[in-house]
Each structure stands twice: as C-alpha cells, then as structure tokens.
Structure 1
C-alpha cells in the first residue's frame, strides 16, 4: 500500500525513507567475517562439537568419548575404534523490532524517535547481513503488527527498508487509537525466529508497560533480547530554564527534568534483557 505524505510531514527527520536505510550499508564486509562451513542458511558453526551437518574431526576413540559417535567405516578400515564429530550449528538470525506507536512518533530535536529507531535497527541489520546471517523484521503500530520473514543478503535488507518506511508512513497518517502493547508481539516474534536468535527491540521508555514484562521475559529465556531505549534530547539534557506550557486558555511555567531510568533498567535486566540507551 502506497501512502501519500505531503506538506509538513514530508521532511527529513519526520518522514522515513527506504533510501536512507539502504545508505547505511557498510562499504566493506565486517571485520572478522568468516564463511560458515555449515550449509544451513543463517547458521554458523560453533566452536564446540555437536550434532550439526559439517565434519569437525575424525579421530581414534579414547576413554570418555560418546560411543554413539563411533564411525563404522573408519573403525573397519583401521581396525581401531574411531569417532566422528560435527560442528554444532548456531543460528545467526537477527530479528529487528521497530515500535512505531504514539510515544515514538515524537521528538524535540530535528528527528522523530521513530526515525532514529529505524536507522538504529537498519545499521544492526546490515551488520548481520555482512557476516552472512539471517534478518527478519517486525513493526508494531497502533493498528497492529506487520512482519517480514527471515532472509539473507542485500535483497532482504532492501525488503526490510521498504517495510520500515512503508509502515512508518502509515503510522504518521493513521488516527491514534488504543493499540496493543509489546505483549502482542511476543508470540509473533517467537514464530519468526528460532531459539538462539538475537532480538533487537527499539522502543521508548514510555512504551514498556508493566504488563509487557512477562511476555518479554518469555522471549529472553531462549533468545538474546536487546532492548534499545531511544531517548529524546529533552529527556537526556533538558534546557535549564523554565518553559511555558499552555492549553490555549491558561499558561503555566515549569522546568523539565532529566529522565531517571533506574527503575526501568532494573526491571528489564531482571527479566534477562540486555538494555542499551540510544541518545540523540
């Protein structure tokens, strides 16, 4: 669906474009990238032996080895028991979750929080792509959820960029409503990516309700959950002078205070999430 964005909203920092997300692609492969030996897309060989598809070693059996790994062919050929071990496949799948609900469609600087969140997630997606991993995406708006199944390569990141830009346009033009919380996306996220995956959630501190914590905790049990709190300049370094606030009829003077995230960080850490603060 194509949404027409015109006037004041069609400005850099307010409207998100796929082009700016595609421009975040690194010019060269990430340092330390290696080509996985495993043949399963989006999986990397771990450093320890396991039950993957790719041969790790073939050697003589010693006391303590698992007899189920004895290789009949090598044993018959040498007359000595040999075992065969394989690399344990480790999923390198990254799920990018963008929160485009009301608290994210706001900002006191030159860029909406939602736009900064999309840029942050796109950079993470490009890093995963450059090391050969899978990338999936999930967007939460007031109207519900939109998802993109995992895939690899530049073409997948182009699809991610188009999805983020399109859903952001829709979020800007829709009437505000009582949309679902983060709890609504936990089940969808679990179906999109397997255990062992990374999940990057970009949201605002105001976007995490107490009822969301149990759902996020379930995600964090078998996946690595990283919550990126997108902070506004007014929350990090508010202006020191008093500001006038009006409802159109009356005026009040007040001072902004820096946001205290201590309690929020403690709650998220307690459920097993890793938290990072993303300032302007």
Structure 2
C-alpha cells in the first residue's frame, strides 16, 4: 500500500503551509473528546494539555452532588456515602523541545525525522493555543538553542512555526554536537513549576548525566518523551548493498545484504528504545514513539 505525504510537504524541506495544515485537525483532540495522550496510551490515564480539574477533597455526599464523583473506597470504609470535590487547575504552560540536530536530518523512506518532529510540534502547539494555554519552545540545531517565549495566542504559534522553518536545514551535518545539558538547564530556567514539557527527539545524544537532569526536571513538572525514529535504524530496508554510516563519534560500513547485520541493528534499536521507555516509566513520564515512514495523523488514534 502506497503512503502519501501530507499536503504541502515534500518530506525534506519545511514550509509554513505544511505546519499550518495541522491547525484544522486539533478538533479531534479537543474536549469533550479524549486527550491526544490517553488515546495513544490505551487505558493509562493522562491529563489534557494545559488546564483541567484538580482533586480538592472528599466530603460526605449531599443532595445534588454528581453520583459519578462518589468515592467508593471512602464510602465502603466509613459506611457513609462520600463524594470527591474538584477545583479548576491553575495555568499549566506548555513547553516544547524540538530537536533539529544532524541525527534528525535523516530519512530512508517517506520523510526526514526532523520533518515528522516539526509536524508533531505544530499539532501540539495548535492544540495548546485552542485550549487557551501558553505555549513556548526551544528549537535545538545541535549547535545552538533558539527560545520561543510562551504565549497563549495563535500569533505566538505562528512565531514558533516560523522559527522552525527558519532553522530547519537538512544539509546541516555537524560532527561535534552538544549533549542535552544546555537544553535541560534552559528548560529548568524557563519553565515554572507545574509546566507541561514535551521533548521531541531521537534522543541519540542523551547521556546518563542527561537522564539524571531529566529525572530532576520531572520532579516539579509533567514530562513527555516523543521518540522519533526511522525504519532503517531497525534494519528494515529493501536495500541489500553495503553502505557507509557515520555517527557523531565514528564511521563504519554496514552490509545490508547480511541478515545477521540487519538483525543486529534491530536488536540494538530495541534495546536502546526499551531502555528509554523503561526510564520514562520509572520516572512517571509519558513515552510515545513515532516512525517517519508514515504521516503523523495516520499514527495518531482519533476515534
């Protein structure tokens, strides 16, 4: 089955029209529908982006209370019907980290990883704006960080999308790149406690020290990891030749005609991805994996 690119996209370059396209699709994840996250993560409970309702207290049931809010555990323990009270959650700003470094400028099939990451950023930014939430961002080229001030307006989203198109460069090939330390220190400085932080990356530059910093950031904030990958990283390809592959630290030749070599790539990918997902679960972070061989919306459940 053939897979087509989204409207206005060529899979390599980025333009404003292809990011504006996602504005019309936010309706699928706005209340009263399920949140984007709960639909992707099955039965696991997850907040909407931005404001919602926070638990306040439990008190004895009074006439007119919503029976759906009855706390059955307390009711069973006390022998008297009790209900939960909720208050409106305070402002919960959304901060997006978008990785546009060299490792993201790769795509073996439909589009570059950086393009898919930008599409997801656009969808989340439009969702936040529709929900009247402030959204800010950090765009990382691997050489420099570009900050986008948090605002609660469509104009702020447009500024962010223009920033992304300005700094997206598929020709960028930096051999020496920063780890995540500057990014995480910047997020810690920018984000007030209680922020919603989304990190969109392939996480190839994430070190053990970075994981410690990320876990510390999670103490006072909600953190979501969106892992973007390419099928070739799993050894999935129809190509059966020999190709030179260069990373930040080394260069080697891979024989894609060898099933052993492809299986080794698949095992390495699974091991590293499982480790990242386990780390996320261990620290109460949402983990979502997206592949750049399919359009974004086809990978997100909307029903």
Q: Tell me, yes or no, whether TM beats 0.5.
A: yes
Task: Say if 2:262 is the partner of 1:256.
Answer: yes
Structure 1 position 161, deviation (Å): 0.4
Question: Rg bigger for which structure?
Answer: 1
TM-score (norm 1): 0.70
Shift in alpha-carbon separation, 1:246–1:189, aligned structure 2, 3 A: closer
Q: 226, 229, 232: which is aligned to 1:228?
A: 226
| 8 A Cα contact 1:200 1:225, kept in partner | yes
Structure 1 position 230, deviation (Å): 0.3
Farther-moved stretch of structure 1 (124-133 vs 253-262): 253-262
Match of 1:256, SS state, is helix
Structure 1 position 45, deviation (Å): 6.5
Structure 1 position 240, deviation (Å): 6.6
Q: How does 1:56-205 map to 2 (within 5 A)?
A: 87=87, 89-169=89-169, 172-174=170-172, 176-205=174-203
Shift in alpha-carbon separation, 1:200–1:28, aligned structure 2, 3 A: closer
Write out per-residue CA displacement over residues 151-178 of structure 1, whole angstroms, 9 at most, x where no aligned residue: 0121111011001111113xx4545142
| 8 A Cα contact 1:139 1:147, kept in partner | yes
Structure 1 position 24, deviation (Å): 0.8
Shift in alpha-carbon separation, 1:187–1:28, aligned structure 2, 3 A: closer
Shift in alpha-carbon separation, 1:94–1:110, aligned structure 2, 3 A: same
Quick one: distance in 2 between partners of 1:241 and 1:173?
A: 23
2:289 paired residue number: 277
| 8 A Cα contact 1:150 1:193, kept in partner | no
2:41 paired residue number: none
Farther-moved stretch of structure 1 (254-263 vs 215-224): 254-263
Quick one: distance in 2 between partners of 1:251 and 1:276?
A: 28
1:58 paired residue number: none
Shift in alpha-carbon separation, 1:251–1:136, aligned structure 2, 3 A: closer
Q: How many residues align?
A: 224
Quick one: distance in 2 between partners of 1:164 and 1:102?
A: 15
| 8 A Cα contact 2:235 2:262, kept in partner | no
TM-score (norm 2): 0.65
| 8 A Cα contact 1:98 1:121, kept in partner | yes
Task: Say if 2:278 is the partner of 1:266.
Answer: yes
| 8 A Cα contact 1:95 1:197, kept in partner | yes
1:219 paired residue number: 217
Query: RMSD between aligned alpha carbons?
Result: 3.0
Farther-moved stretch of structure 1 (150-159 vs 188-197): 188-197
Write out per-residue CA displacement over residues 182-233 of structure 1, whole angstroms, 9 at most, x where no aligned residue: 1211121122221111111111142322231011112111111101110112
Quick one: distance in 2 between partners of 1:96 and 1:145?
A: 12
Shift in alpha-carbon separation, 1:251–1:278, aligned structure 2, 3 A: closer
Shift in alpha-carbon separation, 1:246–1:95, aligned structure 2, 3 A: closer
Write out per-residue CA displacement over residues 51-88 of structure 1, whole angstroms, 9 at most, x where no aligned residue: xxxxxxxxxxxxxxxxxxxxxxxxxxxxxxxxxxx956
1:60 paired residue number: none
Match of 1:12, SS state, is coil
Gap regions ≥5 residues in structure 1:
1-10, 34-41, 51-85
Structure 1 position 47, deviation (Å): 4.1
Quick one: distance in 1 between partners of 2:26 and 2:175?
A: 43
Shift in alpha-carbon separation, 1:120–1:45, aligned structure 2, 3 A: closer
